[in-house]
């Protein structure tokens, strides 16, 4: 399985001390993307799954209370992922 990655840093804002760092996706199943994020500058061990068709984030960041903020911004985050993936594909 081939995993592609692209930086989200130019496209996303901060949610408290949480920042989306990069997106990962698999060429065979591009419907879902994995959003990698950092808290206080430290990369989290888990990522958040995003359903690209439904434009929704399926997970909450573990131990961090910004899930409502992230879900409210799901469309903007989806646009950031689309931009990152598109530019990566050029």
Domain carrying residue 75: 3-89
Number of domains in the chain: 1
User: What pLDDT shows up at residue 24?
Assistant: 94
pLDDT digits (tens, 9 = 90+) for 49-81: 999 999 999 988 877 677 788 888 999 999 999
Is pLDDT at 32 greater than 80 in this prediction? yes
Contact 63, 74 (CB under 8 A): no
Q: How far is Cα 28 from Cα 15, in angstroms, rounded to an integer?
A: 31
């Amino acid at each position: 399985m081939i995993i592609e990655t692209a930086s989200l840093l130019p496209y996303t804002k901060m949610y408290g001390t949480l920042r989306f760092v990069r997106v990962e996706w698999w060429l065979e199943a591009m419907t879902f993307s994995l959003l990698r994020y950092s808290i206080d500058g430290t990369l989290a061990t888990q990522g958040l799954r995003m359903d690209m068709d439904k434009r929704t984030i399926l997970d909450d960041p573990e131990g961090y209370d910004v899930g409502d903020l992230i879900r409210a911004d799901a469309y903007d985050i989806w646009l950031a992922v689309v931009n990152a993936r598109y530019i990566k594909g050029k």
